[in-house]
Amino acid sequence: MSKAPISGAFVIVAKHAHFSVLYFGMPVITVEKLAEARKQDLELTLLTSNEAGLKKVINNPELHRPGLALAGFFERFANKRVQILGETEMTYIAQLSSERLNEVARQLFKHDLPLVLITKGITPPADFLEAANKSGTCVFSSRLTTADLSTKLSAYLDHTFAPSIMMHASLVDVYGVGLLYTGKSGIGKSEIALDLVERGHRLVADDVVKITRAAPDVLIGASSELLGHHMEIRGVGIIDIEELFGIRAIRLQKRIEVEVNLTLWSETEEYERLGLEEKKTTILGVGLPIVRVPISPGKNITVISEVIAMSHMQKVYGENAALEFTKKLSQTLARQSITKGYLESDYE
pLDDT of residue 116: 96
User: In this structure, are residues 31 and 114 in contact, taking their beta carbons and an 8 Å threshold?
Assistant: yes
Active-site residue among 81, 168, 210, 254?
168
Known active-site residue 346 = no
Give the sheet arrangement for strand 170-174, strand by strand.
Answer: 202-205, 170-174, 177-182, 258-264, 286-295, 280-283
For Cα atoms 211, 216, 217, give the angle at the middle one, nearest 5 degrees.
70
Phi/psi for 61 (5° steps) reads -80, -10
pLDDT of residue 22: 59
Distance CA(74)–CA(218), nearest Å, equals 36
- For the chain, the straight-line distance linking the first and the last C-alpha, in angstroms and rounded, comes to 78
Known active-site residue 173 = no
Known active-site residue 189 = yes
Q: Name residues of the chain where pLDDT drops below 50.
A: 1-13
Distance CA(263)–CA(258), nearest Å, equals 16
Distance CA(344)–CA(246), nearest Å, equals 68
pLDDT of residue 189: 92
pLDDT of residue 10: 43
Q: What is the pLDDT of residues 108-125, one digit of tens each?
A: 999 999 999 999 999 999
User: In this structure, are residues 119 and 145 in contact, taking their beta carbons and an 8 Å threshold?
Assistant: yes
CA atoms within 13 A on the CB side of 64: 22
User: In this structure, are residues 265 and 294 in contact, taking their beta carbons and an 8 Å threshold?
Assistant: yes
Q: Residue type for 117, please?
A: L
Known active-site residue 15 = no
49 Cβ contact list (under 8 Å, min separation 6): 133
3-state secondary structure 80-115: CCEEEECHHHHHHHHCCCHHHHHHHHHHHHCCCCCC
pLDDT of residue 319: 75
User: In this structure, are residues 170 and 209 in contact, taking their beta carbons and an 8 Å threshold?
Assistant: yes
Active-site residue among 18, 189, 251, 312?
189
Other CB atoms within 10 A of residue 203 CB? 25
User: In this structure, are residues 147 and 282 in contact, taking their beta carbons and an 8 Å threshold?
Assistant: no
Active-site residue among 207, 210, 251, 312?
207
Radius of gyration of the chain (CA): 29
Q: What is the DSSP string of 230-299?
A: EEEETTTEEEEHHHHH-GGGB-SEEE--EEEEEEE--TTS---SS--S--EEEETTEEEEEEEEEE-TT-
Q: What is the pLDDT of residues 41-78, one digit of tens each?
A: 999 999 998 888 999 999 999 999 999 999 989 999 99
